[in-house]
Copies of this chain bind each other. A is one copy, B any other.
Amino acid sequence: MKSVKIENLDWVSYRELTEKGRCKIILPVGAIEQHGPHMSLNPDVLIPSHIAVKVAERCDNMLVAPAISYGYKSQVKSGGGNFFPGTTCVSGSSLESYVFDVLQAYVNHGNREFILINGHFENSMYLCEAADKLVKKCKNEGVNVKVYLLSYWDFISEETIEKVFPDGFSGWAVEHGGVLETSIMLKLHPELVDMSKAVDVEPATFPPYDVFPPDPSWVAASGTLSSPLPATAEKGEIILDECISGIASHFG
C-alpha cells in the first residue's frame, strides 16, 4: 500500500519507509471545540491533518501519524471557553501523557524526528512539555530525538494577512471561528460550513486577566471571537497554500 498516512500502510511497508530513521513523522494535534453555529466541531483536527498530508506529499521521507483529536481545555480568550456544549477537552496531564506515549512508540520503531502540527492554541504548552520530556528521556537512553512544534498559523505572512483581512487584522488571538478558520474550512470541507448560520460579531475584547470559573458573558453568544462573515474559500486556499509551502520548505 502507498500512502503518506501511516495508518493506511501495512507494517512491512511502514518498516521499509522508516528504515534508519529516515522519515520525519508529522503528528497533527487538534481539539473538538465549538467554532460558532456555522461550523463543525473539528476544524482544529481537520486543518492540521490536511496540512500534514499535503506537506508530506510534497517532501520526501515524511509520514503522517493519526491525529490526536481531543486537546487541552478551550480558554475563553482563545477558544470561547470550556463551557460550550460540544467543546470536548481533556486535562493537560492527560494530553501530555498521551502525546508522550505516542511519540515514544514512534521512537521505538526507529524514528528520530517529529513535527507536531498544532491546530488548537491551548495545546501548545502541554505539547511543549511532552516534547521536552521525551527528548530528555531518550537522550538519557542514548537516543537523539528532535521534535519540532508549530502552530500552522505562524506560517502566514504579513502579505497574506493583508490580503485576507483587507479591512484590518485584529490579531490571531480573536481568530477563533473567524475568517481564518472559516475560510480554510470553506475550501477544505464546505459541507461542514453553513454560512447562513454565521453570526456577525465584533472582534472580542477582554479584560487583562482570566477568571475561573470562566464568565460566559465575556464571549459572544455565537461562540466566535470575531466575525466569520468575510470568509471565503479563496482566502482559505491562499492561507493553506502558504502554510503548506512554508512548512514544507522549512522541514523538507
Which of B7, B42, B136, B223 sits near A42, CB closer than 8 Å? Answer: B7
CB-CB under 8 A from A194, the residues of chain B are 1, 10
Query: Complex Cα distance A13/B90, Å?
Result: 22
CB-CB under 8 A from A13, the residues of chain B are 37
Query: Complex Cα distance A72/B126, Å?
Result: 11
Contact A14 B85 (CB under 8 A): yes
Q: What total of chain A residues lie within 8 Å of the partner, measured CB to CB?
A: 89
Q: A50-69 toward B: CB 8 Å interface, digit per residue (1/0)? A: 00000000000000011101
Contact A9 B86 (CB under 8 A): yes
Q: A132-161 toward B: CB 8 Å interface, digit per residue (1/0)? A: 111110011100001111100011000000
Query: Complex Cα distance A146/B212, Å?
Result: 6
Contact A140 B139 (CB under 8 A): no
Asked if A207 lies at the interface with its beta carbon under 8 angstroms from chain B, I say: yes
In A174-230, which residues have CB < 8 Å from any B CB?
192, 194, 197, 207-213, 223
